[in-house]
Chains A and B, each alone.
Chain A
């Protein structure tokens, strides 16, 4: 049982304060959804936790099983068990998915430990089948010329291969048509287990129809202003973000 604790987190980009005191705890096996309008700091939260160099954490802490991840480099955080599924995954021409994933798995092995290539490909192909990804995919360059749906499936494939303790999923539904959304959601649902905690960031309720959350949080201007169960998402969908603005924000 693992735990990701976000404690009174404040994040800035340059001089601009974006996340303004956010606290949240996610445990293994739980799926939390953070909903909120554009510009409220949802993506900033995810990137800051993953260690993006453009974001400065001015106060607060992020603890993984009681240990702060803030002194760690992004790659150390990833190896410690955090995974960020990007809203806009980078296109990297010339680096094949197979080589990239091998390097990522190799980085998790001990000194002098060699990757078992046979086992690696067996596992890779079974995850690809799960996500309905063509085998030829592995020789393609990372996200290079991928459709929106392919990019998101590629993110989930990486998540499946790297088996993180906690996944931060940043607008995983954006840019997906309904078929692609279903495949991605099925993939995430297949990965749901007692060993994985998920923090799902989304603008729309749509995704939550496919990946049903245990907890829903509404974010506004850098803070969580309301938390509840999955019914909160439906209420938000029905009433709109004006409801948040007019009724949930203290004047």
Chain B
């Protein structure tokens, strides 16, 4: 397929004009000067960087014509009623609902948790009240996987998001939930969730990325997860943007000594979705569990790039990305394990498994290793397979119709990932979202 070679085909900044940026900057003028400076610098980077080109290895296989930035706008405020906000049916320790880059509803954490020092509030409030903490961690890890331009755009236009701070030793029994909505035609949103877990803290944070309508939305989000010594963080994201949406999401995980971070990204929505995940294992004993499930239907494209960087000895990471492809959908998985020279005894695993439910679908896999230490255990692999005929016959031989048998087998395929979630209601909530994708309400 040929890509437009002329820069005139689409401008490198599209709808994101200097006037739009100036208006945005004026709307956040009350925030700290260091942050506004960062935003200006990010804006300059965004405008200077080109859109991805065919020759960019980090965009290999991606449909570059789908990345045009035209037709979007910073959307006006909406009310929760206009969103048709649907609850998730799981008990939470607190909720924040953002729509069109603004907080529209919140269920704060309990007074007891607040007393223990837990902070769960907007990024704007955190910038004003906990500036140093935010400054140390917000967007502190530069992107390395190709989305530098979109990451810069995110920093420039990030208006608000979620801030989670877990003090030393605090454990949250229930998850914290954050909703990020895009509403209205051409709405551009810049979701952000920043989680800082101090020594020994333990919590689950869930991001829900949703469209309030079927419009063509633009989502350009990032998250920052920081797990200090022995912290245990579970992060789940459920992406159900509208079928016309274009999304970029870039996640950063930093795991310190003996910290364990599990991140599970469920990708269901969007026309074209790029997702980057970057885990840094910075001290001995650190572990990162990187999980993803994608159901690609119609002509959807999901492009996932991962980076597992082992920077210290005795660190481990385990990546399992599973895609189910229907119709003429397309997926891209490109993963890289990097082991620094002194990161001996690294144990890293990377696996991409594709279930082909259609002959017209296309799954691309680019697993990779870059090992500079000599005493490590690193394995990677990618497979694509169809529904197993013997398994299908086995289920049919019990009276289960073929279509139902295939659905059972597909959910069985997902279960290997979902079963790593140690939280039954969340596990079931994700299954329900996948079921809706397979059997949309009429």
Please indicate the chain A residues that have their CB under 8 angstroms from the CB of B389 in the complex. 53
Please indicate the chain A residues that have their CB under 8 angstroms from the CB of B414 in the complex. 94
Interface residues of A, count at CB 8 A: 29
Kindly state the separation between the CA atoms of A205 and B413 in the bound complex, as whole angstroms: 40
- Give the interface segment out of A12-20, A29-37, A101-109, A174-182: A101-109
- Give the interface segment out of B129-137, B207-215, B279-287, B401-409: B401-409
**Nearest CB on B from A68, distance (A):** 18
**Contact between chains at A74 and B393 (CB < 8 Å):** yes
Give the contacting residue for B397; candidates A51, A95, A108; CB below 8 A: A51
Most buried by A among B389, B393, B402, B411: B393
User: A90 interface residue, CB < 8 Å from B?
Assistant: yes
Which chain A residues (73-121) contact chain B, with CB distance < 8 Å? 73-75, 77-79, 83-84, 86, 89-90, 92-95, 99-100, 103-104, 107-108
**Contact between chains at A75 and B391 (CB < 8 Å):** no
Please indicate the chain A residues that have their CB under 8 angstroms from the CB of B30 in the complex. none
**Contact between chains at B399 and A75 (CB < 8 Å):** yes
**Contact between chains at A104 and B399 (CB < 8 Å):** yes
Contact string against A for B residues 369-408, beta-carbon threshold 8 Å, 1 for contact and 0 otherwise: 0000000000000000000111101111111111011001
**Contact between chains at A141 and B399 (CB < 8 Å):** no
**Contact between chains at B408 and A95 (CB < 8 Å):** yes
**Contact between chains at B401 and A75 (CB < 8 Å):** yes
**Contact between chains at A103 and B394 (CB < 8 Å):** no
Most buried by A among B389, B396, B405, B414: B396
**Nearest CB on B from A135, distance (A):** 18
**Contact between chains at B416 and A93 (CB < 8 Å):** yes
Main secondary structure of the interface of A (DSSP, over half): mixed
User: B360 interface residue, CB < 8 Å from A?
Assistant: no
User: B44 interface residue, CB < 8 Å from A?
Assistant: no
**Contact between chains at B412 and A53 (CB < 8 Å):** no
The residue in chain A whose Cβ has the minimal distance to the Cβ of B403 is A75
User: A43 interface residue, CB < 8 Å from B?
Assistant: no
**Nearest CB on A from B412, distance (A):** 3
Kindly state the separation between the CA atoms of A59 and B366 in the bound complex, as whole angstroms: 50
**Contact between chains at A75 and B405 (CB < 8 Å):** yes
Please indicate the chain A residues that have their CB under 8 angstroms from the CB of B398 in the complex. 75, 78, 100, 104, 158, 162
**Contact between chains at B394 and A90 (CB < 8 Å):** yes
Give the contacting residue for B402; candidates A52, A73, A83, A89; CB below 8 A: A73
Main secondary structure of the interface of B (DSSP, over half): helix
**Contact between chains at B401 and A107 (CB < 8 Å):** yes
User: B415 interface residue, CB < 8 Å from A?
Assistant: yes
Kindly state the separation between the CA atoms of A162 and B399 in the bound complex, as whole angstroms: 9
**Contact between chains at B399 and A107 (CB < 8 Å):** yes
Kindly state the separation between the CA atoms of A104 and B408 in the bound complex, as whole angstroms: 11
Give the contacting residue for A107; candidates B400, B411, B413; CB below 8 A: B400
Give the contacting residue for A52; candidates B393, B404, B411, B416; CB below 8 A: B393
Which chain B residues (405-429) contact chain A, with CB distance < 8 Å? 405, 408-409, 411-416, 419
**Contact between chains at B400 and A94 (CB < 8 Å):** no
**Contact between chains at A103 and B408 (CB < 8 Å):** yes
**Contact between chains at A75 and B396 (CB < 8 Å):** yes
Give the contacting residue for A89; candidates B388, B394, B409, B413; CB below 8 A: B394
Known: A95-B408, A103-B408. A78 touches B413 (CB 8 A): no
Please indicate the chain B residues that have their CB under 8 angstroms from the CB of A94 in the complex. 411-416, 419
Most buried by A among B397, B402, B404, B415: B397
Please indicate the chain B residues that have their CB under 8 angstroms from the CB of A100 in the complex. 395, 398, 400, 408
User: A50 interface residue, CB < 8 Å from B?
Assistant: yes
Known: A52-B393, A74-B393. A92 touches B402 (CB 8 A): no
Kindly state the separation between the CA atoms of A84 and B402 in the bound complex, as whole angstroms: 17
The residue in chain B whose Cβ has the minimal distance to the Cβ of A158 is B398
Which chain A residues (22-70) contact chain B, with CB distance < 8 Å? 50-53
Known: A53-B389, A73-B396. A95 touches B402 (CB 8 A): no
**Contact between chains at A92 and B396 (CB < 8 Å):** no
**Contact between chains at A90 and B390 (CB < 8 Å):** yes
Please indicate the chain B residues that have their CB under 8 angstroms from the CB of A158 in the complex. 398
Most buried by B among A53, A94, A99, A107: A94
Give the contacting residue for B396; candidates A74, A86, A93, A95; CB below 8 A: A74
Known: A92-B391, A95-B409, A107-B404. A50 touches B416 (CB 8 A): no
Please indicate the chain A residues that have their CB under 8 angstroms from the CB of B419 in the complex. 94
Kindly state the separation between the CA atoms of A142 and B392 in the bound complex, as whole angstroms: 13
Please indicate the chain A residues that have their CB under 8 angstroms from the CB of B405 in the complex. 75
Please indicate the chain A residues that have their CB under 8 angstroms from the CB of B401 in the complex. 73, 75, 107
**Contact between chains at B400 and A104 (CB < 8 Å):** yes
**Nearest CB on A from B60, distance (A):** 31
Please indicate the chain A residues that have their CB under 8 angstroms from the CB of B408 in the complex. 95, 99-100, 103
**Contact between chains at A84 and B412 (CB < 8 Å):** no
Please indicate the chain B residues that have their CB under 8 angstroms from the CB of A73 in the complex. 396, 401-402
Which chain A residues (148-169) contact chain B, with CB distance < 8 Å? 158, 162
**Contact between chains at A103 and B400 (CB < 8 Å):** yes
Kindly state the separation between the CA atoms of A79 and B405 in the bound complex, as whole angstroms: 14
Kindly state the separation between the CA atoms of A52 and B395 in the bound complex, as whole angstroms: 11
Q: Nearest 4 CB-CB pairs, A to B?
A: A94-B412, A94-B415, A78-B399, A95-B412
Q: List 8 A-B contacts (CB under 8 A).
A: A51-B396, A52-B393, A75-B405, A86-B394, A90-B388, A99-B408, A103-B395, A142-B394
A-B contact sample (18 more), CB < 8 A, given A51-B397, A93-B415, A95-B411: A73-B396, A73-B402, A74-B393, A74-B396, A75-B398, A75-B405, A78-B396, A79-B399, A89-B394, A90-B390, A90-B394, A93-B416, A94-B414, A95-B408, A95-B415, A103-B400, A104-B399, A162-B398
